[in-house]
Amino acid sequence: MIGAALNAAVITAAEETEAVDGIRLLLPAAYDLFWSVVVLLIIAVPFYKYVLPKFRAVLDERTEKIEGGLAKADAAQAEAAAARAEQERQLAEARAEAGRIREEARAEGGQIVVESRAKAGDEAARIVETAHRQIEAERQQAATSLRADVGSLATQLASKIVGESLEDEARRSRVVDRFLDELESTTAPAGTTAGKGN
């Protein structure tokens, strides 16, 4: 039934339509424009009053979030750059401190070497001085021992040559001292000449 009524309405509309030609073919009829404007107003007014403000609020909120995110990103990037600059400054300070410590260590090492050399030189001089003293003491001891042995031998020899006894201590001592003095005086020029030859 609805289908038959619809067919009848279409046939009636087709009979009532006039033949349209030219530009009027593209333009809608006035009643179509009127009802389109009415429907548009019915949809546009609530859309403009209720829906559009919510869209704007959502868009504004998203814009604020995006701008806040960008601001946070810029702040984080600035903090990262500041932290990097601080780390580079600390690294430069650490390198300078390490260089200063190395230079101080080198200077201290050089000073320790100089002090060690000075101590070693002092110790060597002390050891040489001690050795000279010991050699001199041993020479004195050997000279004393030699003098006693030579004196005894010289007394015996002189007793045999002279034919008299030289048992008297004072006499024997004078003879020994005179003999050693003569011996030293004869060996001294020979030693001096030998020393000059070297």
User: In this predicted model, what pLDDT tens digit does every residue of 165-195 receive, in sequence order?
Assistant: 555 666 667 767 777 787 778 876 554 544 4
Instruction: Please tell me the predicted confidence (pLDDT) of residue 177.
Output: 76
Q: Read off the pTM.
A: 0.35
Q: Is 163 left (phi over 0), alpha (psi -120 to 50) or beta?
A: left
Report pLDDT digits (tens) over 87-108.
Answer: 999 999 999 999 999 999 999 9
Residue 180 and residue 154: Cα distance in Å, rounded? 10
pLDDT range class, residue 3, cuts 50, 70, 90: low
Burial, 134: exposed, middle or buried (Cβ in 10 Å; 0-12, 13-18, 19+)? exposed
Computed from CA positions of residues 87, 90, 96, 98, in that sequence, does the dihedral angle turn out positive or negative?
negative
User: What CA–CA distances, in Å, run from 156 to 11, 121, 181?
Assistant: 184, 51, 18
Q: What number of helices (H) and strands (E) belong to the chain?
A: 4, 0
Residue 198 DSSP SS3 = coil
Place of tokens 């033949």: 19
Which is more confidently placed, 72 or 154? Answer: 72
